[in-house]
Amino acid sequence: MGIVVAVRAPGLEACAKWKAVEPTSPPEGLPTGIYDMHQAPVHLQQNEDADAAFERIRARLFVYAIFPSRVMRNVICPGPAIERGTLIVQQVGIGPFRLESAVRVVEVWDRATDGQRDAGFRYVTLAGHPERGVASFAVHRDESGVVRLTLDARSQAGTLLTHLGRPIARPAQLAMTKAALKRLAAGPG
């Protein structure tokens, strides 16, 4: 399972440490496991139209400004923005120690068709991550101007320890995902 580190944000040394680590799952997902899909409408800010709201969320997704920094810190390798093949080193925890693990981006999209826009990315966990799985983060603007954020994931415990800790880890995982969704959909914060 990941690496426990003292409280500090991951830096470029973390990129080198995780660069050659193999994925735990195929990019298309797992045949078994827990499937989560969370969606929320994006709230328009003052003097913001649907296109501007879409661009605001798109920009935050592609620099991985998704999760509250009090819970998750990260570094994008090579950075500064997400593209296919990008490595994201994550540190999750509250208090003096954090669990470090990594994911690799396997798909990125940014397309416009028939008056709609879609942008997002999908990543797969790397060996050492407490979970095995695939997750995607996307923003969609439909032809009527409604902007919606979608976070979905298929995962299962990656180690015996995370399997045994699932009753505690699962509510924490859901709370973190809901916090991310709310943070992104609500506004600039």
Six token digits for residue 8: 């500090």
78 prior amide bond cis, ω within 30: yes
pLDDT score, position 29: 59
Where do we find the tokens 């390798």? 77
Where do we find the tokens 């991985």? 64
For 113, list phi and psi in degrees, rounded to 5.
-150, 135
Q: What is the CATH number of the domain that holds 80?
A: 3.30.530.20
For the packed helices 166-186 and 50-61, what is the interaxial angle rounded to 10 degrees? 140
Closest CA to 104 of 24, 7, 29: 24
Q: What distances in angstroms separate CA 116 from CA 32, 51, 52, 147, one per listed residue?
A: 32, 10, 14, 10
Number of structural domains the chain divides into: 1
Q: What's the domain range around 18?
A: 3-186
Is the pTM value of this prediction over 0.85? yes
Four-CA torsion 26, 32, 33, 35, nearest 10 degrees: 80
pLDDT tens track, the chain, 189 positions: 455 554 566 677 888 999 999 998 777 656 567 888 999 999 999 999 999 999 999 999 999 999 888 888 899 999 899 999 999 999 887 677 788 899 999 999 999 999 999 999 999 999 988 888 899 999 999 999 999 999 998 888 877 777 788 888 788 888 888 888 888 888 654
Q: Is 168 helix (H, G, I), strand (E, B) or coil?
A: helix
pLDDT score, position 154: 87
What is the DSSP code (8-state) at residue 182? H
116: β partners: 113
Run of H or E including 123 = strand 116-125
pLDDT score, position 159: 76
